[in-house]
Amino acid sequence: MVALWRILRHKNCMRSVRHPYQTDLDRIFKRCKGAYSEKTLSGYRGDLHSFIAWCVDYGHDWVPAAPSTVACFIDDQTQTLSMATVKRRVEAIKFAHRMLDWPSPALSSEVQLAIRRARRARPSRPKQSLGLTSDLLRPMLVACPGTLAGKRDAALISLGYDTLCRSIELAAMRAEHLAPDLAAILILRAKSDPFGEGRIAHLSPSTQDSLAQWLEVSGIKEGPLFQGLHTRKMSGRHLDTASIRRIIKRAAARAELGEKVSSLSGHSMRIGAAQDMMVAGIDQVAIMQAGGWKTISVLGRYVENAATYAIHERRWAQLVQVR
C-alpha cells in the first residue's frame, strides 16, 4: 500500500507541477529529438520522472542537483530497487545535466561513494536468457509447421541465429535489405550502431532455404520482412519485439523443450549463436564482428557460461587420458 501511495503521489506531482520541472524536461527532449532513438529517450524520461518526483517529495532541486541530493536518492532507491535500475537512473540524471549544460553531480566523490555502498549492499549477477544454441535450434525448426505462420517462424528463428541480431533488429528488417541470392542481409541499425553505419550478416544455406520458402508463400517483395498475420493474411506491418518473443517460446513449446521454454527470450538467438561460436573455437574478434559488439567485456558476458563449460569439458577429457 505504501508503494502504491508513493506511485500515485509521484504521478500527481508530475501532473500538477509545470514549472520549472516540466519546462526543463520538455526543453531537454525537444533538443534531443532525432539525435537519440525514441526508446532511449523514453527510458530517460521515465527515470527522470522518478527522480523529479522523489525530489518533490523531499524538497530538493532536481536540476542542478546537489551531489548530496543524488547520493541520498541512490541510498533511498537501493532499499527497494535492483542495482541495474539504480545505475540506469543515475545515468538519466547525468544525461539531463549534460543536456542542460550543467556540471554532473554524479562525478562527485559523494555520489561515487553512494554507488559503491549500493553495489556492496545489493550484490547481484546480471540475469541472462537461455542461449538458443544449435542443439535447441534444430528441433525448434523441425517442429515449425508447413503453414504460412510456421514458415515465417522458421525463417525468423533461423535468420536471428545466423545474424546474431537482437529482436528489435529482426523486427526492423526489410525484404529489400536481402541480397538477391539470399546469402546475406544488411543490418541497417543496431543498439551499438546508433548512426546507422550498418553491417553485412551472412546467411547459411539452410537459412537461405527457409527464407526462400517464406518469401514465396508470403509474396513479400519489399517492405517488412517479418509481418504479423491477420486471418491468415499479411498485415503489412513489422512484428514487434513482444511478438518475436512469443514466436520463439511457441516454437520451443512445439519442440517439447519443457522447462527451457520459459527461459527463452527474443535475445536467446543472439546469445546462443555467440556461445556456439565460442565453443567452436572461433576467434573473439570474429565473434565481435559477427554480432556487432564493440568491446570484449560485453561479449564475455554473453559467452561466459559456454566458455566455462567448454574449458571444463576439455579438462575432464584430459584427466581421463592421464588416468
Q: Is 39 exposed, middle or buried (0-12, 13-18, 19+ CB in 10 A)?
A: exposed
- pLDDT tens track for 62-104: 989 999 999 999 999 999 998 889 999 999 999 999 999 999 9
Q: Quick count: other Cβ atoms within 10 Å of Cβ 320?
A: 8
Q: What is the pLDDT of residues 189-219, one digit of tens each?
A: 777 666 667 788 999 999 999 999 999 999 9
Nearest to 307 by CA among 295, 299, 317: 299
CA atoms within 13 A of residue 219's CA, in its CB half-sphere: 4
Mean pLDDT of the chain, nearest integer: 85
Distance in angstroms (rounded) separating the CA atoms of residues 142 and 209: 13
Residue 7 has pLDDT above 70, yes or no: no
Helix (H) or strand (E) segment spanning residue 271: helix 268-279
Average pLDDT on 276-304 reads 79
- Whether the Cβ atoms of residue 222 and residue 175 lie closer than 8 Å to each other: yes
Q: Report DSSP letters for 291-320, one per residue.
A: HT-S-HHHHHHHHHHHHHHHHHHHHHHHHH
> What is the Cα–Cα distance from 193 to 168, expressed in whole angstroms?
13
The DSSP code sequence of 118-186 is: HHHHS--PPP-PPP--HHHHHHHHHHS-SSHHHHHHHHHHHHHHHHT--HHHHHH-BGGGB-TTSSEEE
pLDDT at 287 over 90: no
Residue 175: what pLDDT? 95
Domains of the chain and any CATH numbers: 2-121 (1.10.150.130), 134-313 (1.10.443.10)
Confidence band of 15 (pLDDT split at 50, 70, 90):
very low
Percent of the chain with pLDDT over 70: 83
